[in-house]
């Protein structure tokens, strides 16, 4: 399946002046309002009132910024189906790596949950659709109006051979760069609407001289090193070549890849020494608590900021050099083959696709809705910035989160970048990526 992820969704717009504070004011109240609207708009139908039994939902959302957002989805479902017991089967650790391993064991043993979380794109298609673990839900897309409500880019990412296989609930921006406003002010660092690599390196020198960790990193979660590199690669190579590399249309022994690796090596000189012991949310917490200046992380980090009541003191910008691009990390849920409670699962997907549920979930999660007909005025300044970027910037998929590449290449990407964090050997990194791409192409042929 070939998807043009650089498809534009609108004309370029300049970034608005973003107000400090108020980004999360009333987030819980807004979520409750959205759920009340959902229940009011869909008064219990005979089918809803008759629904009983269980709904087991499998995910990896367990952090302080993720669990409340997941609960908002459960609340949305329970508002319509109060007699169904919702079973939260979330698996903690590894930012999804542990959960996917547990899920694989369950699927191989013919013990699926009623629905599971998955990133659209190659992760969904290669891991679950092609092996036959997912039921098509094209009829739900049609009956719930999702074909009109969601951008074609996302529909294509959830599709195989003209059938849809998951419902996107939130769109994350993978190339976020988060900073502590007070730390910047106290050290005379001004962060504008964009940041270049050179500007970051200069700021990092200043912070390091002041005894502050310039860039927090967490490699206990294996995706973080890969994600920080792919963002740096995007900065150096630009969205077109970035896309070509992951599609196999450009060679990994490219001058831009080498420059990106060298640049990443410069950035690694400024990270915390304890990165192998930290999870991604702990690295984000370093910025929130003022123990680090910056953190390169997707906007699920904003959920941590909200959960820790740190909105006023936390700033954001695109990962240095990536202004004008949006790295897609899209969460969705499936209908499994052999779901224990298939009707409850289908109703779960109906709720997830609704405007009310997406308006309740995304302000808490840090993501933006997959639907385009939402009320943007209920969202924070951060979310509105992300909504504008999604509508106007180049859209590229994340390899670190499984959308841009096969599972085999993704794992090789993880391994290569974890090795690079240790030795910073550019030649070895390039060779490992070339070998992985060649093996991937051979397996696909």
Q: For the chain, which domains are there?
A: 27-169+330-376 (3.40.190.10), 176-327+398-444 (3.40.190.10)
In angstroms, how far is CA 161 from the centroid of its own chain? 25
pLDDT mean over 88-105 = 87
pLDDT of res. 249: 95
**Spatial separation of the C-alpha atoms in residues 245 and 135, rounded to whole Å:** 31
According to DSSP, the β-strands at 176-180 and 292-296 are antiparallel
pLDDT of res. 165: 98
Q: Is residue 5's pLDDT more than 50?
A: no
pLDDT of res. 33: 52
pLDDT mean over 384-407 = 92
116, β-bridge pairs: 58
**Spatial separation of the C-alpha atoms in residues 103 and 95, rounded to whole Å:** 14
Residue 245 CB contacts under 8 Å (≥ 6 apart), including other chains:
233, 237, 252, 254, 257
pLDDT of res. 49: 56
The CA dihedral of 115, 120, 125, 131, to the nearest 10 degrees, is: -20
pTM of the predicted model as reported, rounded to 2 decimal places: 0.83
**Spatial separation of the C-alpha atoms in residues 147 and 59, rounded to whole Å:** 25
For residues 172 and 282, the answer to whether their CB atoms sit within 8 Å is no
**Spatial separation of the C-alpha atoms in residues 372 and 181, rounded to whole Å:** 31
pLDDT mean over 109-119 = 97
Q: Is residue 318's pLDDT more than 70?
A: yes
Residue 202: pLDDT band (50, 70, 90) is: very high
Percent of the chain residues topping a pLDDT of 70? 88
DSSP for 174-232, written as a single string: S-EEEEEHHHHHHTT----SS--HHHHHHHHHHHHHTT-EEEE---SSTHHHHHHHHHH
pLDDT tens, residue by residue, 246-269 = 999 999 999 999 999 999 999 999
The CA dihedral of 13, 17, 19, 24, to the nearest 10 degrees, is: 10
In angstroms, how far is CA 141 from the centroid of its own chain? 22
State the Rg of the chain over Cα: 21
pLDDT mean over 296-309 = 92
pLDDT mean over 158-173 = 97
């Amino acid at each position: 399946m070939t998807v043009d992820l650089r498809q534009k969704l609108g004309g370029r717009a300049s970034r608005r002046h973003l107000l400090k504070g108020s980004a999360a004011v009333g987030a819980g109240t807004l979520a409750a309002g959205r759920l009340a609207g959902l229940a009011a708009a869909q008064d219990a139908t005979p089918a809803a009132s008759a629904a009983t039994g269980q709904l087991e939902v499998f995910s990896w959302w367990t952090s302080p910024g993720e669990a409340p957002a997941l609960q908002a989805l459960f609340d949305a479902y329970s508002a319509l189906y109060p007699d169904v017991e919702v079973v939260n089967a979330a698996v903690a650790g590894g930012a999804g790596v542990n959960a996917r391993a547990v899920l694989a064991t369950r699927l191989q043993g013919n013990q699926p949950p009623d629905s599971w979380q998955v990133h659209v794109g190659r992760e969904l298609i290669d891991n679950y659709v092609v092996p036959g673990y997912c039921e098509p839900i094209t009829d739900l897309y049609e009956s719930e109006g999702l074909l009109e409500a969601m951008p074609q880019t996302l529909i294509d990412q959830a599709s195989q051979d003209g059938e849809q296989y998951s419902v996107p609930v939130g769109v994350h921006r993978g190339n976020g760069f988060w900073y502590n406003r007070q730390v910047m002010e106290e050290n005379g660092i001004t962060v504008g609407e964009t940041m270049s690599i050179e500007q970051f390196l200069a700021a990092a020198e200043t912070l390091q001289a002041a005894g502050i960790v310039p860039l927090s990193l967490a490699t206990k979660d294996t995706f973080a090193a890969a994600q920080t590199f792919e963002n740096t690669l995007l900065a150096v190579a630009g969205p077109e070549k970035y896309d070509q590399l992951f599609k196999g249309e450009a060679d990994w022994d490219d001058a831009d890849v080498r420059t990106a690796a060298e640049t990443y090596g410069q950035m690694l000189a400024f990270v915390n020494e304890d990165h192998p012991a930290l999870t991604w949310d702990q690295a984000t917490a370093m910025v929130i608590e003022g123990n680090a200046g910056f953190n390169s992380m997707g906007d699920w980090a904003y959920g941590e900021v909200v959960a820790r009541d740190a909105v006023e003191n936390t700033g954001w910008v695109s990962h240095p050099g990536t202004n004008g691009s949006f790295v897609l990390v899209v969460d969705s849920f499936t209908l499994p083959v052999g779901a224990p409670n298939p009707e409850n699962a289908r109703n779960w997907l109906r709720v997830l696709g609704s405007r009310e549920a997406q308006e309740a979930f995304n302000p808490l999660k840090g993501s933006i809705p997959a639907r385009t007909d939402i009320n943007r005025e209920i969202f924070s300044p951060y979310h509105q910035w992300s909504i504008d970027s999604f509508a106007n910037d180049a859209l590229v998929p994340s390899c670190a989160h499984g959308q841009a590449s096969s599972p085999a290449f993704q794992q090789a990407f993880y391994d290569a970048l974890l090795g690079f964090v240790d030795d910073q050997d550019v030649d070895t990194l390039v060779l490992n990526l070339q070998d992985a791409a060649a093996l991937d192409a051979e397996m696909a042929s």
